[in-house]
Amino acid sequence: MAATLSLTHYGPAQLDSERKTLLDVYEDVYADRLNDPFFSTDRYWQRLEGYASRDGFAFVVGTIDTEPIGYALGYTLPAGSGWWNELKSDAKEKDLIEDGRRTFALTEIMVSESRRRRGYARQLHDQLLADRDEERATLLVLPENAAAQAAYASWGWRKLGEIKPFDDSPTYDAMLLTLK
């Protein structure tokens, strides 16, 4: 039986105070990739600071007792966002236009290795996306991450195409979920 997960919602003002929690979970989840410059802890923190500077930034941390076991975070894509610039897809142009209110980018969802396969990721996902004003959400997932791919599909996400968001990043599957 899964332990009860406590969920706490945060905004950009709490990013620095929650730094240790966020990085501890990140380093657990990405332990085998931390030597890759793209996945290094410093580079990850730089991305988080960038996300936190965006409108609509929010994150949810899950704890069991007092132990942080995971989190989900994201922000609203700004008008004219370059998010879709490198998308390889037959998507219609109108589906790729961002107006600063249309799409929430779920940029991270992770659960510590020892706490996986218990429904915690879904709880973090649902809490973060609850009551969002955007009409849809997007996320990027590694194609070889079969467990995450299956989970997202069962939660209603659909693949839009492939995307390489940074020159030194892997290629990801870009997914969409209708919120409203």
Residue 83: name the closest of 54, 63, 62, 58 by CA.
54
Helix (H) or strand (E) holding 146: helix 146-154
What pLDDT is attached to residue 2?
Answer: 60
Tens digit of pLDDT for each residue in 132-156?
Answer: 999 999 999 999 999 999 999 999 9
Q: What is the crossing angle of helices 19-29 and 41-52, to 10°?
A: 130
CB crowding 29-62: b at 16 or more within 10 Å, else e: beeeeeeeeebeeeebeeebeebbebebbbbbbb
- Rounded CA-CA distance 87/41 in Å is 26
Q: How confident is the model at residue 167 (pLDDT cuts 50, 70, 90)?
A: confident
What integer is the mean pLDDT of 1-10?
85
Instruction: Quote the tokens at residue 33.
Output: 């990739």
